[in-house]
Amino acid sequence: MSFHIIGTGSALPERRITNDDLSQFLDTTDEWIFTRTGIRERRICTSETLDDLACAASLRALEAADVTASELDLIVCATTSGDHILPAQACAIAEQIGASCPAFDVSAACAGFVFALDIADGFFARGRARRALIVAAEQMSRLLDWTDRATCVLFGDGAAACVIEAGGASPLAIELSTAPDTAALSVPGVPGTSPFASMRSPQSMLAMNGRRVFKFGVNAICDAVHKLCETAHIELEDIDHFVFHQANDRILAAASQRLGIEDDRMARTLRTTGNISSACIPYTLDVLARSGELHPGDLIALVGFGAGLDVGSSLIRWE
């Protein structure tokens, strides 16, 4: 089957937390963080809920697509940090925007948006849906150990969404994969208070092996891009925009150097948002779309990678 994106939207919390702000309670500096990550600031939820951000991004995408919530046939939300363990974050979105279609979440960490696109495309292929809202929403600040300068400086909160419609020229290629490694980047589940538990559960805070994730991220981007080109029977030079997961600028720089990508074709948004997990790719798409940098016919390579270790990549044509 095929689809095309007909509207995008995004939302970030109001509160900006700069590197200097973090240096007030961490043994770090703006220079230390920026030279290692490419991040100057990130947005962190204070009074906003993730429901608020996800719904705001969804409504902006619907407005851009000129589609009402009642016209949606499906809502898929990519998240690992939702406001709810149950119901699904997607159900809360559906309730607040006034939709009555099937709604559910997908958990594939930073690759979640591309996984959600592929799921929706499957609904289109079976004739089960014509329009879908794909949302990626993350409140990473609730999962962090704010005493660990190696991880808490990397992440931020935010949401982004797109409305896709059956038909069109996308995807020219799409690929999902998992190289199982649960220890490289993980957040333990909620400990609970069961009186029958025989062992103490760790706190639900993010832990990461930075070197392992760095190596995996660079290889994942390069392998995915070459696979997309091979599947779509195109050359690397035919791709107009590269929208990769915004984990760390050093990963982006290493991948672009290995691929030989000119800097003006590599999208970067992490300087002001940090890593917003599954929301990175759709947020960057929304920034590009609203700034007028995307033109009909442009080829865009999307690559998300993260905990799991999951990789989702897709080659889409902007319409």
State the pLDDT at residue 1.
59
Other C-beta atoms closer than 10 Å to the C-beta of 257 total 10
pLDDT tens, residue by residue, 143-166:
999 999 999 999 999 999 999 999
pLDDT reported for residue 168: 86
Q: Which of 110, 152, 162, 229 is catalytic?
A: 110
The helices-and-strands tally (H runs, E runs) of the chain is 9, 13
Whether residue 140 sits in one domain with residue 41: yes
Do residue 157 and residue 245 come from a single domain? no
Indicate whether 178 and 160 sit together in one domain.
no
Residues 15 and 108 grouped into a single domain: yes
Query: What is the tens place of the pLDDT at every residue in 3-14?
Result: 999 999 999 999
pLDDT above 90: residue 245? yes
| One domain for residues 80 and 186 | no
- Name the pTM for this structure: 0.95
- Strands 103-106 and 74-78, by their bridges, are parallel
Q: Does residue 14 share a domain with residue 139?
A: yes
Show which of 166, 187, 220 is a domain's final residue: 166
Is the domain of 125 the same as that of 197?
no
| Same domain membership, residue 96 and residue 186 | no
To the nearest 10 degrees (0 to 180), the angle between helices 50-65 and 280-290 is 40
Task: Check if 110 is active-site.
Answer: yes
For residue 311 the two structure tokens come to 């990789």
Domain co-membership, 143 together with 188: no
| 68 and 180 fall within a common domain | no
Q: How confident is the model at residue 240 (pLDDT cuts 50, 70, 90)?
A: very high
Domain of 81? Answer: 3-166
Find out whether 158 and 279 touch, Cβ atoms under 8 Å: yes
- Position 229 pLDDT exceeds 80: yes
Choose among 312, 268, 65, 94: nearest CA to 168.
65
Same domain, 145 and 192: no
Catalytic residue (choose from 77, 162, 241, 245): 245
Domain closes at, from 166, 187, 211: 166
- Which residue out of 162, 248, 275, 280 is catalytically annotated? 275
CATH number reported for the structural domain that contains residue 116 in this entry: 3.40.47.10
> b/e string for 140-173 if b means 16 or more Cβ within 10 A?
bbbbbeeeebebbbbbbbbbbbbbbbbebebbbb
